[in-house]
Each structure stands twice: as structure tokens, then as C-alpha cells.
């Protein structure tokens, strides 16, 4: 991974409708969202100059903001145009795209009814999310649990929800793992810190029902790719005592794409045919070589 800090790079970032030199895209210290976690964001990837599922990401951004009780100052169409322009100006074919919206600095305190809403879009070259992606990653169990849907707005991709993800990921990395598997408030398997999870047993895929964590766009895509190959996909509650019974495991996300998992807290998996097939299908789909299955 590049060691160049993100605030000291060349290029331009789209911010509130204009392109601004990368190093000059500043926000004030007393920005509401910095204090109260109310930014919403998207992580997207462009392949060969086209952002995969771009409109779905923009729609989710708008929906995340709505859930957090604000409207974006740009329409989905305007965000689409801005993202396309960001990619075009970056000169990158394959890129990671970060769109983020936040409440400004007019008022501090919890109430922010009239604070201005800001939106920015940046893109940069970013390879695999995990350095040893192809070898398969190792997960440990997180201490933090995904909260109940009555406790956190799980359908919003909101900055504040990532607090326990960073804490869990740091603990995992310190213990020599790549990432952590988070259980939910009921003790069911939920997801990794920034990606959804799938398991294979016999010929079927099993994945937790996304009732208290993000139903990722990649997750939904992988389910349709699997179904197109007549693979049975079972969405259900999965308890950790089943970890010993699965044969393959992978995680999914716009950044992680499909990343094979070779261990979860002592249980080992062998990335095999099903993982490889879906990885290839996903790669072909993101590069426009096959159509999105119905």
C-alpha cells in the first residue's frame, strides 16, 4: 500500500460542485460530522474507466443521508456526472472512488437542522484491499457485536457505525490476522469489518440474513451470479458453532471484491472451485465481459 498520506497527493477532488487541488480540500475543525459521526459515504471501484454499479452507490448514498435526516445538495444524476468526471480527470482506468457527504460547521451541538450539507468525491489507484488476497485471508473473532436494528441504522453507510469496525480490525491485526469476523447482538455471524461473508457447504452457499448490517451491493451481485450458475444460496441465521462445518469461505465488498478466507479463529477453509468460479464471474462482470444476471 502506498505510504503517501492522503492529504499530500497530486490531483483534484470534486467538492461541492467544483474541482479543487487535492491538498486544498479542507474542512473546518468545528465541522458537525467530525464530532458526531454523521458523515455518509460510499466506497466504489472503477474498472477500465467505468464505475461498477455507480448509480446504485449514488442511490445508497442518498438513502444513507435520508436515514440520517438530511438531504444531499446534489441529485443522483448530478452525482453520477460528477463521479464520471472525477474518473475521467484522474486518468485512471482502475480506481477506488470515495464519495462522502457531511454536515458543515454552522452549528455545533447535536441539533444541526440548518447546517449545510457538503459532498465530495475523490478517486485514487488502489489495488487489492488485502495484501495476501489470493492466498486467502485469516480472520479472528471480533469482541464488538453488530448492534440491533433498533440501536443503529444498519442500512445507512454512516461514518459513526465504523467506530467498532476499526477497533475490531486493529485488535485483529495486532493478533496477526487480516481482519475480524463480527457477530451480531444475538451471537449470530454477521460480517467482516468492511465486507459481507459467504460459506460453502456441499454444493450450497450460506450467508447471514442482512437484518442488522449492510446488505452490500457486492453481496447482492454475488448472490445473483451464484443463482445464474444454479448454485443454491441460503440466506439465514448462522451461529458460530457452524464454522467447523463449512468447506469454503469468502468475503465480499466493493473494496474487497471477492476475497477468499482460509481461516477463521482456528477453523480452516480451502478456497476451491466455487470461490474461484465466482471470483472469475465477478471479474468478468465488473469489466463488462458478461452481463449482469437477471
**Interacting residues with ligand PMP (CB under 6 A):** 43, 157, 165, 191, 194-196, 213-214, 216-219, 252-254
Beta carbon of residue 193, minimum distance to ligand PMP (angstroms, whole number)? 7
Eight-state DSSP code of residue 289: S
Beta carbon of residue 113, minimum distance to ligand PMP (angstroms, whole number)? 28
Q: Which helix (H) or strand (E) holds 65?
A: helix 54-67
Contact (Cβ atoms closer than 8 angstroms) between residue 130 and residue 256: yes
Closest CB to ligand PMP among residues 136, 194: 194
Closest CB to ligand PMP among residues 70, 213: 213
Q: Which residues are catalytic?
A: 157
The candidate with the shortest Cα–Cα distance to 187, out of 126, 136, 232, 145, is 145
Helix (DSSP H) and strand (DSSP E) numbers for the chain: 6, 15
Closest CB to ligand PMP among residues 112, 141: 141
Closest CB to ligand PMP among residues 117, 195: 195
Task: Return the bridge partners of 40, or none.
Answer: 101, 158
The residue number with the shortest CB distance to ligand PMP is 216
Q: Is 21 helix (H, G, I), strand (E, B) or coil?
A: strand
Beta carbon of residue 274, minimum distance to ligand PMP (angstroms, whole number)? 19
Whole-number Å distance between alpha carbons of 147 and 58: 25
Beta carbon of residue 68, minimum distance to ligand PMP (angstroms, whole number)? 16
Beta carbon of residue 220, minimum distance to ligand PMP (angstroms, whole number)? 8
Q: Is 227 helix (H, G, I), strand (E, B) or coil?
A: helix
Closest CB to ligand PMP among residues 151, 245: 151
Whole-number Å distance between alpha carbons of 70 and 129: 31
**Burial per residue of 162-190, b for 16 or more beta-carbon CB atoms within 10 angstroms, e otherwise:** bebbeebbebbeeeebbbbbbbbeeebbb
The candidate with the shortest Cα–Cα distance to 247, out of 282, 226, 273, 227, is 273
Amino acid at each position: 500500500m502506498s505510504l503517501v498520506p492522503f492529504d499530500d497527493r497530486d490531483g483534484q477532488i470534486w467538492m461541492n460542485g467544483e474541482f479543487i487541488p487535492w491538498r486544498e480540500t479542507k474542512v473546518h475543525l468545528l465541522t458537525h460530522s467530525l464530532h458526531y459521526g454523521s458523515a455518509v459515504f460510499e466506497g466504489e471501484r472503477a474498472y477500465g474507466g467505468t464505475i461498477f454499479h455507480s448509480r446504485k452507490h449514488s442511490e445508497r448514498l442518498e438513502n444513507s443521508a435520508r436515514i440520517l435526516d438530511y438531504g444531499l445538495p446534489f441529485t443522483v444524476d448530478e452525482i453520477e456526472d460528477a463521479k464520471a468526471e472525477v474518473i475521467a480527470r484522474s486518468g485512471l482506468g482502475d480506481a477506488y472512488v470515495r464519495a462522502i457527504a457531511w454536515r458543515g460547521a454552522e452549528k455545533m451541538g447535536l441539533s444541526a437542522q440548518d447546517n449545510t450539507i457538503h459532498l465530495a468525491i475523490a478517486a485514487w489507484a488502489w489495488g487489492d484491499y488485502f495484501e495476501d488476497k489470493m492466498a486467502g485471508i485469516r480472520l479472528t473473532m471480533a469482541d464488538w457485536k453488530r448492534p440491533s436494528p433498533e440501536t443503529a441504522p444498519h442500512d445507512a453507510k454512516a461514518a459513526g457505525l465504523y467506530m467498532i469496525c476499526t477497533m475490531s480490525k486493529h485488535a485483529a491485526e495486532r493478533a496477526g490476522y487480516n481482519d475480524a469476523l463480527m457477530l451480531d447482538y444475538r451471537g449470530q455471524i454477521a460480517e467482516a469489518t468492511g465486507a459481507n461473508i459467504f460459506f460453502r457447504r456441499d454444493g450450497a452457499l450460506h450467508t447471514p440474513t442482512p437484518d442488522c448490517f449492510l446488505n452490500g451491493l457486492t453481496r447482492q451481485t454475488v448472490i445473483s451470479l451464484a443463482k445464474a450458475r444454479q448454485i443454491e444460496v441460503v440466506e439465514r441465521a448462522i451461529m458460530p458453532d457452524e464454522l467447523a462445518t463449512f468447506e469454503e469461505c469468502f468475503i465480499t465488498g466493493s473494496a474487497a471484491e471477492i476475497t477468499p478466507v482460509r481461516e477463521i479463529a482456528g477453523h480452516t477453509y480451502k478456497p476451491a472451485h466455487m470461490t474461484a468460479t465466482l471470483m472469475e464471474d465477478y471479474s468478468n462482470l465488473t469489466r463488462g465481459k458478461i452481463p449482469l444476471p437477471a
